[in-house]
Amino acid sequence: MSMNEQPAWDGRTYYNEPQLRAAPFNNALVGGYIFLAGLSGAAQLLTTVMDATRGPGAASTTRRGRYLAMLAPTVGALCLILDLHTPQRFYNMLRLIKPTSPMSLGSWVLVGFGVTSTATAVLQFAADRLRGSRLRGVARITQVPAALAGAFMSTYTASLLSATSTPLWAAAPKSLAVRFASSAVASAAAALGLGERNDRRRRDLDNLAVAALAVELAATLASEHAERQVGIDDGGKQSAGRAAVPLVLLLTSLLLPGFLGRAVSTLGSVAALGGGLAMRVDTLTEGDTSARQSHRSLRFAQPDNLPRA
């Protein structure tokens, strides 16, 4: 080595301390909340579109979707509050609206979604027990703002993560948003398909889940490509299989007739739901790992390594 040459940096820092702190989330609780938020929001959106386009013919599917939407305001909100440790922290986030903060906007959207989805579910429940009730018409009105909030619920958590300094979350913000949104649609279609008795509607839901999983698979590959370009992939495991496995199963179910097709559809739907939850928990876990490894965080902090995809 000549006197003018500098030794190659091996990725270590002084005392080998990490440059960043990992997010203080309980990954199981927050991952569960993110999964249920996406599932509930997409379920509300899908059933609103289905109710508007198919009307009484899809009444049973619409009913299930409205009840599925209650997972975020109930179980999901409980997961979020448990991770915050004190409920007052959630209340404090509602003291103001900050348009530049995904956390602030997300808190208000969660409240709005909870209120409108609860109203829609209660109206549905009451209408089912009062024959000839006009409450179904009121539910068709309240489901519209619930669906709009649901669309936001499916993606805002990706914005929340990508706004941090965690390399794995910030490297490809657009791809992360597409992954979360498409996985939410696939999970909602899978959950609705599990309880569907009408073969034609089940196949329609399977077709929708297949399309959403294909988009998720493409977005996952785009994210991994962006991470390699920036140099923060660190030889990590590939996650594309989480979308590929249920995609293959649901595609197979569409080619099979009768009971066998329904059985494979059920297996594919369960795989899609499990994969959606695992994807979010693993995204949080792998993000924490990337924050703790200084050779990845410092590499991402280089001026040329701007967010891609």
Q: Are residues 144 and 205 in the same domain?
A: no
Q: Are residues 171 and 147 in the same domain?
A: no
Confidence at residue 134, expressed as pLDDT on a 0 to 100 scale: 86
Contacts of 171 (CB under 8 A, 6+ apart): 223, 226, 227, 230, 232, 300, 305, 307, 308
**3-class state of residue 233 by DSSP:** coil
The percent of residues above 70 in pLDDT, for the chain, comes to 88
With respect to residue 169, please indicate whether it lies within any of the assigned structural domains. yes
> Max alpha carbon distance in the chain (Å)?
90
Q: Are residues 196 and 247 in the same domain?
A: yes
Confidence at residue 16, expressed as pLDDT on a 0 to 100 scale: 66
With respect to residue 182, please indicate whether it lies within any of the assigned structural domains. yes
Q: Are residues 91 and 145 in the same domain?
A: yes
Q: Name the residue among 119, 83, 89 with its Cα closest to residue 281.
A: 83
pLDDT band at residue 210 using 50, 70 and 90 as cut-offs? very high
CB atoms within 10 A of CB 16: 8
Between 24 and 49, where is the model more confident?
A: 49
Segment 293-298 mean pLDDT: 76
Range of the domain at 232: 164-309
Comparing 65-69, 217-221, 286-290, the range with the smallest average pLDDT is 286-290
Contacts of 295 (CB under 8 A, 6+ apart): 10, 11, 12, 234
Confidence at residue 247, expressed as pLDDT on a 0 to 100 scale: 92
CA dihedral sign, ordered 45, 50, 51, 52: positive
Segment 282-290 mean pLDDT: 89
With respect to residue 264, please indicate whether it lies within any of the assigned structural domains. yes
Q: Are residues 29 and 93 in the same domain?
A: yes
Q: Are residues 180 and 295 in the same domain?
A: yes
pLDDT band at residue 237 using 50, 70 and 90 as cut-offs? low
Between 238 and 301, where is the model more confident?
A: 301
Q: How many domains does the chain have?
A: 2
Distance CA 8, CA 3 (A): 14
Segment 86-101 mean pLDDT: 71
pLDDT band at residue 28 using 50, 70 and 90 as cut-offs? very high
pLDDT band at residue 1 using 50, 70 and 90 as cut-offs? very low
Q: Name the residue among 203, 184, 204, 209 with its Cα closest to residue 269.
A: 209
With respect to residue 231, please indicate whether it lies within any of the assigned structural domains. yes
Q: DSSP secondary-structure letter at 7?
A: P
Segment 100-106 mean pLDDT: 77
Q: Are residues 279 and 172 in the same domain?
A: yes
Confidence at residue 124, expressed as pLDDT on a 0 to 100 scale: 93
Segment 31-37 mean pLDDT: 94
- Name the domain boundary from 154, 177, 205: 154
Comparing 117-126, 173-182, 266-275, 296-305, the range with the smallest average pLDDT is 296-305
Segment 12-32 mean pLDDT: 80
Q: Are residues 95 and 179 in the same domain?
A: no
Q: Are residues 207 and 264 in the same domain?
A: yes
Between 7 and 24, where is the model more confident?
A: 24
With respect to residue 19, please indicate whether it lies within any of the assigned structural domains. no
Between 257 and 237, where is the model more confident?
A: 257
With respect to residue 216, please indicate whether it lies within any of the assigned structural domains. yes
Q: Are residues 33 and 139 in the same domain?
A: yes
Segment 137-145 mean pLDDT: 94
Q: Is 120 a residue whose pLDDT tops 70? A: yes
- Name the domain boundary from 107, 126, 154: 154
With respect to residue 4, please indicate whether it lies within any of the assigned structural domains. no
With respect to residue 253, please indicate whether it lies within any of the assigned structural domains. yes
pLDDT band at residue 39 using 50, 70 and 90 as cut-offs? very high
Q: Is 304 a residue whose pLDDT tops 70? A: no
Q: Are residues 96 and 181 in the same domain?
A: no
CA dihedral sign, ordered 185, 191, 195, 197: positive
Q: Are residues 201 and 124 in the same domain?
A: no
- Name the domain boundary from 136, 154, 172: 154
